[in-house]
Amino acid sequence: MIPRYARPEMTAIWEPATKFRIWYEIEAHACDAMAELGVIPKENAAAVWKARNVQFDVARIDEIEAVTKHDVIAFLTHLAEHVGSDEARFVHQGMTSSDVLDTCLNIQLTRAADILLEDMDKVLAALKRRAYEHKETVRIGRSHGIHAEPTTMGLTFARFYAEMARGKARLLAARAEIATGAISGAVGTFANIDPGVEEHVCKMMGLTPEPISTQVIPRDRHAMFFATLGVIASSMENIAIEIRHMQRTEVLEAEEFFSAGQKGSSAMPHKRNPVLTENLTGLARLVRMTVIPAMENVALWHERDISHSSVERGIAPDATVTLDFALNRLAGVIDKLVIYPENMLNNMNKFKGLVMSQRVLLALTQAGISREDAYRLVQRNAMKVWEEGRDFKQELLADAEVVAALSPAEIEEKFDLGYHTKHVDTIFARVFGEPA
Amino acid sequence: MIPRYARPEMTAIWEPATKFRIWYEIEAHACDAMAELGVIPKENAAAVWKARNVQFDVARIDEIEAVTKHDVIAFLTHLAEHVGSDEARFVHQGMTSSDVLDTCLNIQLTRAADILLEDMDKVLAALKRRAYEHKETVRIGRSHGIHAEPTTMGLTFARFYAEMARGKARLLAARAEIATGAISGAVGTFANIDPGVEEHVCKMMGLTPEPISTQVIPRDRHAMFFATLGVIASSMENIAIEIRHMQRTEVLEAEEFFSAGQKGSSAMPHKRNPVLTENLTGLARLVRMTVIPAMENVALWHERDISHSSVERGIAPDATVTLDFALNRLAGVIDKLVIYPENMLNNMNKFKGLVMSQRVLLALTQAGISREDAYRLVQRNAMKVWEEGRDFKQELLADAEVVAALSPAEIEEKFDLGYHTKHVDTIFARVFGEPA
Amino acid sequence: MIPRYARPEMTAIWEPATKFRIWYEIEAHACDAMAELGVIPKENAAAVWKARNVQFDVARIDEIEAVTKHDVIAFLTHLAEHVGSDEARFVHQGMTSSDVLDTCLNIQLTRAADILLEDMDKVLAALKRRAYEHKETVRIGRSHGIHAEPTTMGLTFARFYAEMARGKARLLAARAEIATGAISGAVGTFANIDPGVEEHVCKMMGLTPEPISTQVIPRDRHAMFFATLGVIASSMENIAIEIRHMQRTEVLEAEEFFSAGQKGSSAMPHKRNPVLTENLTGLARLVRMTVIPAMENVALWHERDISHSSVERGIAPDATVTLDFALNRLAGVIDKLVIYPENMLNNMNKFKGLVMSQRVLLALTQAGISREDAYRLVQRNAMKVWEEGRDFKQELLADAEVVAALSPAEIEEKFDLGYHTKHVDTIFARVFGEPA
Amino acid sequence: MIPRYARPEMTAIWEPATKFRIWYEIEAHACDAMAELGVIPKENAAAVWKARNVQFDVARIDEIEAVTKHDVIAFLTHLAEHVGSDEARFVHQGMTSSDVLDTCLNIQLTRAADILLEDMDKVLAALKRRAYEHKETVRIGRSHGIHAEPTTMGLTFARFYAEMARGKARLLAARAEIATGAISGAVGTFANIDPGVEEHVCKMMGLTPEPISTQVIPRDRHAMFFATLGVIASSMENIAIEIRHMQRTEVLEAEEFFSAGQKGSSAMPHKRNPVLTENLTGLARLVRMTVIPAMENVALWHERDISHSSVERGIAPDATVTLDFALNRLAGVIDKLVIYPENMLNNMNKFKGLVMSQRVLLALTQAGISREDAYRLVQRNAMKVWEEGRDFKQELLADAEVVAALSPAEIEEKFDLGYHTKHVDTIFARVFGEPA
């Protein structure tokens, strides 16, 4: 977790105070369930809730842990300082530390997912707004970085919208994957604790009981979660790369918003760097790098080994905090992106009409000219554009052989941009679910 | 793709002949749709189906490609050799090569997913059968590789079943992700082809139309697909590692099936190596390594660059063929795994009853002994077991201070394995969905 | 290994015939050493060399393996068919299969490294030639994709040369890492074979004896080897990305060579796609993906488990064959890259002299103008260029306040490109080791 | 960077105060060089050193950066507050921010490498000591987790020593890779600054001048650095896995040191978990995950984009801090590892002499018995051991057919452990470079 790439909403989830609060709630609900089952006295369960409004003292817990060398015991000792030793004596009964730790981790990941889902909504809203704004803003479509055929800026935004909407659906699924809890004891047999406790705790904490756990909740769930973040980060990179390309000096179809106060802008007005999207490109790598270790964490020895733990102490905050920051940054970038429709047209016309050569070729063959001849006709006019900078349409109109096959109006029509945008509404309806 | 780790069912999907067949079907259905829309003559569309039963000549197509340097054109040229140049002249009209290539790739991946789903069913069936068979076969549960509390072999199988069932659900979702097709032209605008063609082709080929494509189908879908295979491979590794541990000379709770004829078995009967599960461990790495490149493939330049293509030529067959082989091998390993319940009991009793020390400790405190005293009592008897190899239960029964707190029957009860297995039915009901 | 991205020189290394030949040589040399040590009769050792010119029959060995289920035994059986059962009876004595397999693998990797070193020499030669050719070809340097200050195309090539030269040095080190052999028996103790045999075999096969092995040669060596290939592939990607950028329609400072016959070139002269460097970008991912599994292979259980084996069957040919193909392609791309110096100048002048604004600012402050005033002066002229397309130098020359501080000659001098190229020779001397 | 897995020696390198100190030194040395070259007045260069003993105020710099939005400018502004605006006015002249940032990063990485080299020395020292201590401690060698032939614990340690010594050599090479500095201006042409400045700064800071840089130092160097850390981490995992296996309840050949005070040790004496080596297994994954992003950082756009920066803000501290902590932990684990030679013997004898079956087989054939008969003889005695728990040697001695071929003394000799340890001295001499 890099402080400069972190938002407090997300880092709060990973602070010790939050963790202890969750542990407390798990233990208190577990006591309730045990009391309900008649395993412990109801008054002891009730007593635990005396600490309901306590802000646990992290430093004090650390102090105890320095002695006990065990984090959960340190917490329970501190809890007893609030609840009373005697009243607290049934807390955690029949449970194993992992019951608390793993259920807590999944709660944290679930909350992180909720924030990420909000982030994605911001990104989606920005993309949708800009898509409609530039639905008809024509620009050249490129394959291999080379001009191909016209498209619109709105279609670019709509495409990213569809991709991010898929990302959101995946994140919802990934959230469901890790929204489970387990209170099943040392090796998951419920030998020392009734399954009813797990059910109650999960219900109160917004989780589903893990159908079968060992000492730990199975890590394929977490692997899937991090893999999903990796895919979303990759989609984010996809958008970032597009913007970086658009902002290149030679292309200049868009620029990241550059506030008036930002240093250096006016003496070197050409030097506005797409630093935010470059940053997002790097952040995507940071999120993605957590995927493989999360997968390596799946194969634990027998009922558990603890190799996964240090990994998760790193990647759980790192991946969620970084992606949260990045998605927020992305939403802002999209929202404020400065778009230059005129430059888009200029770029498209860089080789005066040459991008239409394919359409002309087709029209000539459809007009009955042989493929070879059509090709020759297009070629000789195209080369004048390429080599001498002439205008393609004018050359065609001046080429007797071409005009013999196609009327000026027909030639003119081949350069009509409406030909390329005629299905934009259809596509928008598919993406945004509204009538074409 | 490593021939020795490949099954013909899956490699067939990736053979040139299969690819050409799919291309053919895409082109033929596209012609039908264009004819229906009145864009091309119906007789030309019908003519294409003359090649319905043709086995395309891969060598001939390669020969043409050597000249044209373009695979789709080579195929179309060859197709025309079967259909007739004139009849075939509308084939591929308004389409771009990627329309065929990308739709084909997704069909191949979808078919691969179908085989993998069958594979997972085999694994699931084997796991379920073995789970019920060993539902009550007690073995020691281990955390950190160290004895913890008893569990059953059936629970181990049931746990893997639940994990693989999650894997199957994920694979179904991943299959849906890549079951899309696109016939949208050079930059995805449908400028040269009606969206109705895409709809028809997709319908006939079992796909959903890609809501918005560029020249290509967006690669976040493929990233998610390979990420899912990576998670399943990791779950497979989880099972493989368990079996490898069980087969260790010192543990010997299970062995991969070793046919009578296998060399060397009887002169060195201890030397039966878990080579299949070791192999699966390695294969898991091979599948997993495709995840990051698939994610790196997502960010393409503008409407497409072709950097993803070489990656997919590698990872698409590699990941699916390897995982298919591995899951089949896994199903066989589970199915025939030789299990030694007696060794399980012997292992559990390695430190004569010491694994029950925790239960005894709890019982003593519940009998009113202070925590400190209870600990002292357990400790002094435990050390006799640890250091002198005595039997824990016998020592407790002979310890006057212990017996003063717990009756012999109560002590006896602490060593009852039924205590640990009492919720096995509950857990099985959760996993296999049957009544407890 | 993807056939279309493979060269026969490299694939030959990974063919069964090559493997068997290496096995043969290892066994024959081992017999010589054993005979020399008096462990086996000299005539038996000599007899093995009778097969010196035999082309082993791969199909026959496969046939035997189908029965014995053991590759090395199958080979030895076949060898005996050539040498005679009785003469061959001491072959492989005291050795373990891994002695042959691991030593063979390292020989294959070493040979692969030799080919890759030749490939890198080709790349280096091409880069050097083009560097000198374009030493003074001025182009704009870009940070963030935005124009910064002038540089030369020669410096770009020289930079890639330096990077690839580092890559070559790394590959030499990586080659040394895996140029070891081991003939040390079942667990590496030489219990059944004298260390002298290992020494002789290694000497004859061009290897260093592994100082301490188990059943296998330690896999940190291989991890380092594949990691090195991954770094080289990344450097290759660095060059590929540069070329892809240069070929963008809007930039067009260079193009991959496009042979006259390549379809479509003249009717759509703008549509020359940088497909080779896009392909290299993808191939870099394929090489890089082998790094993590190679690292996961390092931690084997005790004296060996076989999990690494399936991984290496995949990645050893894949990474070397792919990188070999890619480096050769890269050398060709660089060699034949078509460079457009005029477009470089046009691009640099896109914002008529604005890239020099920083130099002018500095000159004004050095002429005694306050930083604020200098900034104001530059800014007001820069904005005329940016917004109205004026020429920066002309504006400065027409600005009375500017001219009061700087003479026309001084202003003129700020636009002198020689200022930026004055240290090119110094840098070339650093890179190519020749006098400045 | 996870605080719990961090040592202050290493984290100090990555603190802002350290960074600013390095920036200061770079700037001050650059001024000296510029003064020497006559580019700036000597008194201004000298004035910068007035701040020689200043502890820069990080909060104040942050405050300035909040306004200027530029870290280097903020630092320079703060520096001027100490040195005096007028005296400081030539600081950074002709330099670009990256000159400072990149040179600083490499200094930090170089210092980190120095600490890691010390760490490796600790690990090496511990391994060597334990190797000699247990040079003759016999244990069973295992392949596939299955008993193979005897080896010694000293050989295991010696093997890890050799692996770590290779790691150290690699780290030295990786340190040399990133011990470069660059003061070459906006695009690396030295247009605004003499190469002599770079030379001087590098010399004073212990670096080599980067032969050719752009705005940045090329990132293939950093990729190689992180790849090397990844390989070392994998070797660390190799050792950790060995110890985890040795500590398994059923194996119990060694245990991580467990201090008297550690909770729970005596009531559950069997429950000593190898938590440190499990932790190291996880930490290895965390180090390794930085390798791919470091490789993805190599391909920057043209003379630089800033996508690498956020990645390095994460991985540079993360990888070095984590590996430093882990290597220290590893040295401690090895140093204090509790080894149980008696258990090693017991394990070896688990199948009473059966591990010697291979030697007996060989001896019988060498005594003139046919391979088939020898196999039959070994097999019938081996099966009695395997199935009835008899002692292999005793059975052989009682088998008339065996005794007819081998004398009791010869049979006895096959069970002599000295046979397996006879080359230990030779191997130690190879590893530790001392006379055999």
ipTM value, please give it. 0.96
Chain A residues within 8 angstroms (CB to CB) of chain C? 140, 142-148, 244-245, 247-251, 266-275, 278, 292, 296, 347, 350-351, 354-355, 357-358, 361, 375, 378-379, 382-383, 385-386
| Partner-chain residue, chosen from D263, D296, D318, that has the shortest CB–CB distance to A285 | D296
What distance, in Å, lies between the first and last C-alpha atoms of chain C?
A: 45
> Would you mind telling me the total number of residues written for chain C in this entry?
436
Q: Does position B19 have pLDDT exceeding 60, yes or no?
A: yes
Which pLDDT score is estimated for C198?
98
Nearest-CA residue of chain C relative to B285? Answer: C293
pLDDT at A266: 63
Give the chain A residue whose CA is nearest to the CA of D275. A306
pLDDT over 70 at C263, yes or no: no
Mode of pairing for the β-strands spanning A338-339 and A254-255:
antiparallel
Mean pLDDT per 10-residue interval, chain A, length 436 residues: 93 97 98 97 96 94 90 94 93 94 98 98 98 98 96 98 98 98 96 96 98 98 98 98 98 90 63 95 98 98 97 98 98 98 96 90 88 89 90 95 95 95 97 77
Residues 6+ positions from A278 with CB-CB distance below 8 Å: A240, A244, C144, D305, D306, D307, D309
Are C124 and C55 part of one and the same domain?
no
The pairing of strands D208-209 and D180-181 is parallel
Distance (Å, whole) CA C147 – CA C141: 6
- The total of other beta-carbon atoms located within 10 Å of residue C46's CB is 14
Contact A71, A104 (CB under 8 A): no
Low-confidence winner among A166-180, B358-372, D19-33 (lowest mean pLDDT): B358-372
Based on the fold, state whether residues A164 and A256 are members of the same structural domain. yes
Please tell me the predicted confidence (pLDDT) of residue C259.
Answer: 75
Whether residue C425 is contained in a domain is answered as no
Note down the domain range covering C396.
354-414
Could you tell me if A260 and A375 lie in one domain? no
Residue B163 Cα, gap to closest chain C Cα (Å): 22
User: What is the pLDDT at residue A196?
Assistant: 97
In this structure, what token pair is assigned to residue C26? 């290892």
Q: Quick check: D356 pLDDT over 80?
A: yes
- Please determine, for residue B95, whether its predicted confidence score (pLDDT) is greater than 90: yes
The verdict on C122 and C256 lying in the same domain is yes
Residue in C159, C281, C303 closest to D212 by CB: C159
Q: In the 8-state DSSP scheme, what is residue A216?
A: S
Q: Are residues B112 and B185 in the same domain?
A: yes
Give the global pTM.
Answer: 0.97
* Inter-chain touch A314–D2, beta carbons under 8 Å: yes
The pLDDT of residue A372 is: 85
Residues of A in contact with D246 (CB under 8 A): none
The catalytic residues of D are 144, 265
Please give the Cα distance from A418 to C273 (Å, whole number).
26
Closest-CA distance, D183 to chain A, in angstroms, reads 21
pLDDT tens column, C323-355: 999 999 999 999 999 999 999 999 999 989 998
Considering the domain architecture, whether residues C313 and C372 belong to the same structural domain is answered as no
Model confidence at B264: pLDDT above 60: no
Among the residue ranges C122-126, C302-306, C362-366, D243-247, the one predicted with the least confidence is C362-366
pLDDT value, residue D435: 59
* Both structure tokens of C140: 């704009």
Cβ atoms of residues A286 and A318 within 8 Å: yes
Range in B159-173, B345-359, C259-273 the model is least confident about: C259-273
Give yes or no: residues A68 and A154 share one domain: no
Q: Are residues C29 and C161 in the same domain?
A: no
First to last CA, chain A: 45
Residue among C186, C212, C302 whose CB faces D427 most closely? C212
What is the distance between the alpha carbons of residues C187 and C210, in angstroms, rounded to a whole number? 13
Q: Please check whether residues D359 and D400 belong to one and the same domain.
A: yes
d(CA A14, CA B382): 40
**B292, A292: Cβ pair inside 8 Å?**
yes
* Domain stop point among B46, B61, B93: B93
Closest by Cβ to B170, choosing from A163, A224, A299 = A224
Q: Are residues C278 and C398 in the same domain?
A: no
Tokens of B169: 């659900």
CATH code (residue C362): 1.10.40.30
Domain end residue (candidates: A43, A58, A90): A90
Q: Which residues contact D416 (CB under 8 A, 6 or more apart)?
A: none
- Looking at the structure, do residues D189 and D74 belong to the same domain, yes or no? no
Residue C146: closest C-alpha in chain A: A249
Does the distance separating the beta carbons of B270 and D147 come in below 8 Å? yes
At residue D1, the pLDDT reads 79
**pLDDT of res. B419:** 95
What's at C301, amino acid-wise? Answer: W
Mean pLDDT of D288-312: 98
CATH number at residue A296: 1.20.200.10
Residues B106 and B228 in one domain: yes
Structural domain includes residue C430: no
Phi-psi region of B259 (alpha: psi -120 to 50; beta: other; left: phi over 0): beta
- As a dihedral over the C-alpha atoms of residue C76, residue C79, residue C84, residue C85, rounded to 10 degrees, the angle is 10
Residues with Cβ < 8 Å from A342, sequence gap 6 or more? none
Can you give the CATH number for the domain in which C52 is found?
A: 1.10.275.10
Task: State the total domains in chain C.
Answer: 3
Is residue A209 domain-resident?
yes
Cα A26 from chain centroid (whole Å):
30
pLDDT more than 90, % of chain C: 87
Q: Please, are residues D319 and D226 in contact by the beta-carbon 8 Å criterion?
A: yes
- Integer angstrom CA distances of residue A408 from A323, A403, A414, C250: 55, 7, 10, 30
Asked, for residue D316, whether it belongs to a domain, the answer is yes
Helix, strand, or coil (residue B373) = helix
Contact flag B244-C305 (C-beta cutoff 8 Å): yes
Last-in-domain residue among D75, D90, D105: D90
Domain assignment present for D108? yes
| Residue from B114, B101, B112, B117 nearest B181 by CA | B101
CA R_g for chain D? 31
* Residue B436 pLDDT > 80: no
How far is D294 from chain C, CA to nearest CA, in Å? 9
In a domain, C173, yes or no: yes
Confidence band, pLDDT 50/70/90 cuts, at residue D38? very high
- What whole-number percentage of chain B has pLDDT above 70? 97
Instruction: Give D249 to chain A, closest Cα distance, Å.
Output: 12
**Cβ of C293 and B305 within 8 Å?**
no
The strand ranges marked E within D220-272 are: 254-255
